[in-house]
A and B are shown apart, each in its own frame.
Chain A
Amino acid sequence: DAKTTQPPSMDCAEGRAANLPCNHSTISGNEYVYWYRQIHSQGPQYIIHGLKNNETNEMASLIITEDRKSSTLILPHATLRDTAVYYCIVRGNSGGYQKVTFGIGTKLQVIP
């Protein structure tokens, strides 16, 4: 799996957009970018994933650069409940033995 690099921590003012970057310069053509988050003492929560095109759902938007070497997760209007550790993961979709491996993620602190 391609390795990802994320800043260890970020702050964001409540109500503002939170932009969380992720570098995955060794990503290969068939690998997807996934984002999960983990609120303290809870299991990880799936947020969004994408391959090439930008994606948007009710939780967030995912912007993937044209060369796919980096991406940004955007929470358009951050709330205090968005305070969590955000994990960017790159994984292929082939093969029957598939697993999600977590790095250290970005600890997002939403400030009132």
Chain B
Amino acid sequence: GAVVSQHPSWVICKSGTSVKIECRSLDFQATTMFWYRQFPKQSLMLMATSNEGSKATYEQGVEKDKFLINHASLTLSTLTVTSAHPEDSSFYICSARVGTSGPLEQYFGPGTRLTVT
């Protein structure tokens, strides 16, 4: 149980275009989803937290107009990288929170590798 999927697993796009990444919780309802970014040989960096039906909360330094997050249902969150540039090339990982109280249980997707040319 507690499987999180991401689509696509990798994507190559041209500079200036937009890319949408989907994150789905397959066998549970996720009230909260998180988006991370990971550059080579670095740790995961939290970008934003999204709660179903409300606006995402972005970490300091993350441009909300560039990284659009939509959490329209309890099983789907999307991250859109708008007007992508080569410096946006990274490994994007989503995770989903199980439940709303008690010990934190957070499950991660397999990641999406974005390359902007």
- Chain A residues within 8 Å of B, Cβ to Cβ: 32, 34, 36, 38, 41-46, 49, 51, 87, 91, 93, 96-105
Instruction: Label chain A's interface by main secondary structure.
Output: loop
- Whether A42 lies near B110 (C-beta < 8 A) is yes
- Whether B104 lies near A93 (C-beta < 8 A) is yes
Number of CB contacts from chain A to chain B under 8 A = 62
- Whether A100 lies near B103 (C-beta < 8 A) is no
**With a CB–CB cut-off of 8 A, which chain A residues contact B60?**
none
Alpha-carbon distance A45/B46, docked complex (angstroms): 16
Interface size class for chain B?
20 to 34
What is the CB-to-nearest-CB distance from A45 to chain B, in angstroms, rounded to a whole number?
Answer: 7
- Whether A32 lies near B44 (C-beta < 8 A) is no
Quick one: which of B6, B44, B109 contacts A102, CB cutoff 8 A? B44
Q: Determine if B97 is an interface residue (Cβ-Cβ < 8 Å).
A: yes
Question: Could you name 8 residue pairs across A and B whose Cβ atoms are closer than 8 Å?
Answer: A41-B91, A45-B108, A49-B105, A87-B43, A99-B49, A102-B36, A104-B43, A105-B43
* Other A-B pairs beyond A32-B103, A41-B91, 5, CB < 8 Å: A46-B108, A93-B101, A96-B32, A98-B32, A105-B43
